[in-house]
Amino acid sequence: MPWSPLAAGGRASPGTLAALALEQHRVIPADRRAFRHLAQRASGEPAAAGFFAMPAEGEELAAARLGAFAEACDVDDGRMRAYEPLAGCQAYPAYISWPALDAAPADAVLAVTADFATWGTYCATIAQGLRTHYGFSDEACAFFDLFAAPVPALDEQAEAAVQAGLESGRLDEKRVYTYDRLLQACEEMFWTSLTARP
């Protein structure tokens, strides 16, 4: 069961709110490194390189905003150091290293764009629930607001990267489907693992 409807309805426990902050504390730097690596690998494909530079910068902003959410969840440095991450929650950052290392840049662009849309929808739902049912401030919700907001420039960059991949013959629809299917499965695993946590 996805976790976001629980947060949207005020039924997510304080423990899972804190776990979300703690898991993201590990996810963000891993994703940032993966996107930076993809941008470097795509140096010969300017559109794809530009695409991956944007979420890499976005992860920097996310890291800066995560602290207020963690604080609202009573997560301090000691709790962060003591926390043991859930395997299901860390499957996504672990998996994304595969396309980061091996995927053709255009393939990776198309695969992660689909997952960005899923993640953004969840973040919008969570932010609304945190404000409505938990009394979280705008500052505490800013992490989720960042990802929930549309980014037209990112969409345009993705379109340019995919078009370049099609024109060069480097886009492989079968590989894209595989990357996307596994990314979406890892995304779902993140939320179901969080839901199963006490």
Residue 161 lies inside a defined structural domain of this protein: yes
pTM: 0.93
- pLDDT digit string (tens) for 33-54? 999 999 999 988 999 999 999 9
Spatial contact of 191 and 2, defined as CB atoms under 8 Å apart: yes
Q: Could you give the number of structural domains in the chain?
A: 1
Kindly report the CATH number assigned to the domain that includes residue 169: 1.20.910.10
Between CA 98 and CA 124, with CA 161 as vertex, the angle to 5 degrees is 75
**What's the pLDDT at 173?**
87
Residue 90 lies inside a defined structural domain of this protein: yes
Residue 198 lies inside a defined structural domain of this protein: no
Residue 102 lies inside a defined structural domain of this protein: yes
Structural domain for 29, as ranges? 4-193
**What's the pLDDT at 198?**
67
Spatial contact of 10 and 132, defined as CB atoms under 8 Å apart: yes
Residue 179 lies inside a defined structural domain of this protein: yes
Indicate the burial class of 117 (C-beta count within 10 angstroms; 0-12, 13-18, 19 or more). Answer: exposed
CA 157 from chain centre, in angstroms, equals 18
- pLDDT digit string (tens) for 50-73? 999 999 999 999 999 999 999 999
* Residues lower than pLDDT 70 in the chain: 1, 198
